[in-house]
Structure 1
Amino acid sequence: MTLQANDFIDRAAAYGYDFYAGVPCSFLTPFINTVIDSERLTYVSAANEGDAVALAAGQALAGKRAVAMMQNSGLGNAVSPLTSLNWVFRLPILLIVTWRGTPDVADEPQHELMGQITTDMLETMDLPWEIFPDRAEAVDEALARAEAHMNETGRPYVLVMKKGTVAPAELQTQSAPTQSRGAITFRPAPYKEPTVSRREALSHLVERTDPAHSVIIASTGFAGRELYAIDDRPNHLYMVGSMGCAPLLGLGLAMARPDLDVIVVDGDGAALMRLGAMSTLAAYGPTNLHHLLLDNGMHESTGGQATVSSGLSFAGIAAAAGYRTTYEGHDRTVIDQMLGGSSQGPAFSHLHIAPGTDKANLPRPAATPVEVKQRLMAHIGAGS
């Protein structure tokens, strides 16, 4: 008998799975449709598969269980966060990956190679996997194995779904997730030479935030190292790798913990890498999410290679995407505006900063990524 979607979803709920993020696949259609139509579950439509992984990782940072769903052809989009976010920080999530292009099933030519290497890719990334259960009575055992692995290692577990595993289910809910039609506050900033340094901007941010009620997630590279040099607080998370994933990690955390102000410090290079994330943050971002983009027009930590940000207004993009309040400027007041009581979230600030870093006084965090994560989770009462 073909598995009904709720045969899995109801049993997964007993383990705490009520948050799903993903990118659709025809194999997943009945599963995703059932999740969307459920009033007790949250589904976030991600711009790409790596974003879905980072979103689920943000829920894990809050001590919750979450699912990221994708087609195996999109597994490549998820390699970066799976290997340099979830694996490094030990953030356990459940992955449901469809298996297009299996040798025994006729499929489109674009799935042939990925069908041959899907399980090899998972094993190369140190991701244990098993076939998604096709019988209701097998679901509990699969979930128990996933839970045991996550508790032991703190890392993801994968269920690989074959064609026809889940019985068809029509989508009943047709409403789009967009929560606004554009920003209520946005004024483009006329060009002038930036004078504020990254350290000055981050020092001001640290002064303006209360560690007891906030979390600051700093993008990979100099942003995290500068934040650490200014003050190593328990509410700080310093990203390593997974470039561009900080906003999605912050979104997952902010959705799980509406009692916290979640502030994401981004960079122009990182934002450009996952520009689609801004549409997701605008559509789903809660009022407690603040997105600060520090733009010096270059990849400074790798030698100062220019980005294309000189031709962009990130705040303009954020406003068009639907962030409720967006600001752009060349001084620290845009941070005050973003955090101010009159701002409606999700709020965004694009601060143009001057290049230049005192590398001689730019330490790397002494704690390991896992220790930083554990400290943060303990600080916000999320367990580990």
Structure 2
Amino acid sequence: MSFLADYDAKKLENIIACNECEAIALAAGYHLATNKIGAVYMQNSGLGKSVNPLTSICDPEIYAIPILLFIGWRGESGKNDAPQHKKMGKITLPLLEMLQIPYSILEPDLIKVENELKKAYLHLTKIKGPYAFIIKKNFFQSYEPKKTKLNKYELTRKKAINLIMENLNNDEIIVSSTGYLSRELFEYRELRKKDHHKNFYNIGGMGCVSSIGLSIALQKPDNKVIIFDGDGSILMQMGAFSTIGKISPSNLIHIIFDNNSHESTGGQPTNSIAVNFPKVALACSYKSAILIKTSKKLTKTLKSLSKMEGPILILIKISLTLNSDLKRPNKKPTEYKEDFMRYLLNLK
């Protein structure tokens, strides 16, 4: 993805989509307009998300739209990976077989890759419909992005999280998004050896954290619920803005940490540079929306939250740091869930 971003509009037309359904639809539109074959790259978690357009638009029995899928095989059997990838790793190939999408597992051999390309091209042009290339870990050579720009903001994700946590009452319920946000928050708690049970580390289901937080806020109206969201995550499920705004729980604070990147997967750019999140939130009936670029303003905002009615959006612009040394939560996800649920059930 970093390579494609560097050569965008030069050798290849690379459109950065917000989620895999959108990417499939873009490739379908490309084929309809040009009679050419589009390519979509994704992690296998995205395969689950894209089942609907693959079966109801692209399938040979519907519109027969050829798309070449490049699917990264997270959670491959026998390989060490994060727990949220294990189930999808097990079912990736069976799912493709159930969807009747033929596939090839690519090997790092140019002659073999060329043969697989010929096989794929025959299916794409004769049968018409999706064909998948399965990409194992370390298949591609490492690539140093040429266009990576470290955003010049005062706040880093770590500094912003530390400021937030130090200015809370410690009785808030926190729900954090997948990726480095949950890992950074986990490290904050781990260093202090306490209060993991007050957090829900949403390590999977990218884009779902805002809806999980909303539902918890509705069930616990006497407690502040704070969502730690990322720009890539909220862009995946922007419809959640309207649901939050319509229901308008007064105890909900929605914080977006925006570094214009999918940092945990290599720092590839998101589309957040084109979005004014505070205006979107206000248009969706959030009570307040605040843009923050400095620690001074963040501290001032945090001290005033007790006087404000939710839902509140706080957009924090942070630097892109590309920190890959963050620890992951070290217990089973179910253990964290059970601790978190016990905490919630003991609240008023």
Distance change (3 Å), C-alpha of 1:358 and 1:80: closer
In structure 2, relative to structure 1, the CA distance for the partners of 1:245 and 1:279 (3 Å cut) is same
Residue by residue, what CA displacement relative to the aligned partner does 1:214-243 show, whole Å, maximum 9, x if unpaired? 111110000000001111422011111200
Counterpart mapping for 1:214-233 below 5 A: 214-232=172-190, 233=195
Residue 335 to residue 327, structure 1, CA distance change in 2 (3 Å):
farther
Distance of 1:299 and 1:357 partners within structure 2: 10
Q: Does 1:253 align with 2:252?
A: no
Counterpart code for 2:226 = I
Letter in 1 for 2:165: V
Contact 1:334–1:349 (Cα < 8 Å) also in 2: no
Distance in 2, matches of 1:236 and 1:308, equals 28
Q: Distance in 1 between matches of 2:323 and 2:236?
A: 25
**Higher relative contact order structure (alpha carbons within 8 Å, sequence separation ≥ 6):** 1
Deviation at 1:368, TM superposition (A): 1.5
Shift in alpha-carbon separation, 1:336–1:264, aligned structure 2, 3 A: farther
For residues 256-299 of structure 1, the C-alpha deviation after alignment (integer angstroms, 9 at most, x for no partner) is 11121110000000111001111111111311110000000100
Identify the residue that residue 343 of structure 1 maps to in structure 2. 308
User: Do residues 311 (structure 1) and 301 (structure 2) align?
Assistant: no
2:155 maps to: 196
Q: Give the 5 Å matches for 1:328-367.
A: 328-332=291-295, 333-334=297-298, 336-337=300-301, 340-360=305-325, 362-367=326-331
Q: 1:205 to 1:357 in 2, by over 3 A?
A: farther
C-alpha distance in structure 2 between counterparts of 1:196 and 1:329, whole Å: 9
Q: TM (normalized to structure 1)? A: 0.49
Q: Give 1:209 shift.
A: 2.2
Partners of 2:253 and 2:313 within 8 A in 1: yes
**Following the alignment from structure 2 to structure 1, what is the Cα–Cα distance between the partners of residues 290 and 258?**
13
How many residues are aligned here? 209
**Structure 2 partner of 1:273:** 236
Is contact 2:261–2:267 with CA below 8 Å preserved after alignment?
yes
Which residue does 2:126 correspond to in 1?
none
Secondary structure, counterpart of 1:280 in structure 2 = helix
Q: For the residues of structure 1 that align with 2:331 and 2:221, how far apart are their CA atoms?
A: 27
Gaps of 5+ in 2: 1-43, 50-55, 63-90, 93-150
**Secondary structure of the equivalent of 2:345?**
coil
| Counterparts of residues 4-19 of structure 1 (less than 5 Å) | none
**1:336-373: CA deviation from partner (whole Å, max 9, x where unpaired):** 5266123220011111000104433x111111111111
Q: What is residue 261 of structure 2 aligned with on the other side?
A: 298
Cα shift at 1:335: 6.3
Displaced runs of 4+ in structure 1, greater than 3 A?
Answer: none
Structure 2: how far apart are the matches of 1:336 and 1:271? 25
Displacement of 1:382 in angstroms is: 5.3
User: What is the match of residue 208 of structure 1?
Assistant: 167
- Answer yes or no: is the 8 Å Cα contact 2:266–2:322 preserved in 1: no
**Residue 323 (structure 1) aligns with:** 286
Q: Is the 8 A contact 1:219 1:270 kept in 2?
A: yes
Q: 1:1-384 maps to which residues of 2 (within 5 A)? A: 193-211=152-170, 213-232=171-190, 233=195, 234-332=197-295, 333-334=297-298, 336-337=300-301, 340-360=305-325, 362-381=326-345
Measure, in 2, the Cα distance between the counterparts of 1:342 and 1:313: 25
| Residues in 1 aligned to 2:315 and 2:177: alpha-carbon distance in whole angstroms | 15
Q: Which blocks of at least 5 consecutive residues in structure 1 are unaligned?
A: 1-78, 85-100, 102-108, 111-123, 126-191
Report the Cα distance in structure 1 between the residues aligned to 2:307 and 2:273, rounded to whole angstroms: 29
Shift of 1:194: 1.2
In the alignment, what sits opposite 2:29?
Answer: none
**Identity of counterpart residues, as a percentage?**
31
Q: Which amino acid aligns with 1:365?
A: P
Where does residue 41 of structure 1 map in the other structure? none
Distance 1:215 1:382 in 2: 13
Structure 1: distance between partners of 2:45 and 2:329: 21
Quote the Cα distance in structure 2 between the aligned partners of 1:292 and 1:335.
Answer: 14
Instruction: Tell me the secondary structure at the aligned position of residue 380 of structure 1.
Output: helix
- What's the C-alpha RMSD, in Å, of the aligned pairs? 3.6
In 2: Cα distance, 1:199 partner to 1:283 partner: 32
